[in-house]
Structure 1
Amino acid sequence: MSWWKLVRGKVRTYGGLSGRSRFCFFFALFALPPVSLSLKVLGLKRTQALLNSLPIFPLEDGALPTTAEMVKVAARYTRTSCLPQALVLKALLRCQGVESLLRIGVRREGEQLEAHAWVEVQGQPLNQEAEVYQEYQVFAPLTGKPHL
């Protein structure tokens, strides 16, 4: 397949998306690299604070799975890890007025300790399969409030 055919196919696919899907895709595409950099420079709490300053706008019905999918697609182009993806998805959901939780879990893989981040809405992982709870030991939700 030639490069041009591939690009033309992507443009057709893009043209079939709703306005909200396009917005989510481009927001994620352009937000993922700076969020990754912000995590390295500012850390998690400051990056979350910056993302929490974004405005809120009305949600279209059925947009949650589409929002998560658009972040996944954008992440393929930016090659970002799960934490920036989860933060961008959480920011998009917050902008749409949807309450969500950032979840982080760990697991031991041989001698290695692996961490993974995802977003949960109403007790269900939005950008992961439900099996993520069996695969990872989950920390308490990161809300920015101290736990007593």
Structure 2
Amino acid sequence: MNAQTVIARLAKFRALGLRCQCMVAAASLLLPVVALLVKVVGYARLMAHIERGGVARAVPSRDVVREIGRAVNIAGLHGLVRVRCLSRSILLHWLLRRSGVQSQLRIGVRADRGGIRAHAWIELDGEPVNDAPGVRHEFSAFAPRDAAGVQP
């Protein structure tokens, strides 16, 4: 990475605002942990733990929810370690659940050049939080499951 790229990225980071900068910094530290937990503990056990966790009383606004999603995506793409969509979505789901937001982690697939491509994202009331609005049309999403793996 050359000096101009670093300067441009720092300028973009500074333009985020203090609250978003703090969220990006926190997500940059948490994402490698989440990626490791997915590998060591496994997706099902990690999600069961997240779903059982307590929630806050004050629920953030939709704008704050989107800002949290943006911060996690920035950290996942430009942070300490680049992580895949599953780790980003699991972290965002955990952060939102702890904030009192009843988000859903969605996983979908699509045919892609002779193979299958999977993708994960978070939805709130059927709308993507950390992805483009059209993600539901690009990927065929599996039916949502609860912590026990049961379809609600």
Instruction: Work out the CA distance in 2 between the residues paired with 1:120 and 1:11.
Output: 25
- My pick for the range that moved more, 22-31 or 100-109, is 22-31
Name 1:71's counterpart in structure 2: 72
1:124 shift after superposition: 0.4
User: TM-score scaled by structure 1?
Assistant: 0.82
For the pair 1:56 / 2:46, whether they are aligned, the reply is no
For the pair 1:139 / 2:142, whether they are aligned, the reply is yes
Instruction: Work out the CA distance in 1 between the residues paired with 2:56 and 2:25.
Output: 17
User: What is the CA deviation profile of residues 79-138 of structure 1, one whole-angstrom value per residue up to 9, with x for unaligned ones?
Assistant: 100000000111111111111100000011122111000000011011111211111111
Name 1:42's counterpart in structure 2: 41
| Partner amino acid, structure 2, of 1:12 | R
1:17 shift after superposition: 2.3
Name 2:24's counterpart in structure 1: 25
Name 1:96's counterpart in structure 2: 99
Structure 2: runs of 5+ lacking an equivalent: none
Q: Secondary structure at the match of 1:56?
A: coil
- My pick for the range that moved more, 61-70 or 44-53, is 44-53
| Partner amino acid, structure 2, of 1:64 | V
Q: Secondary structure at the match of 2:119?
A: strand
Give the length in aligned residue pairs.
144
User: TM-score scaled by structure 2?
Assistant: 0.80
| Partner amino acid, structure 1, of 2:58 | P
Runs ≥4 residues deviating over 4 A: none
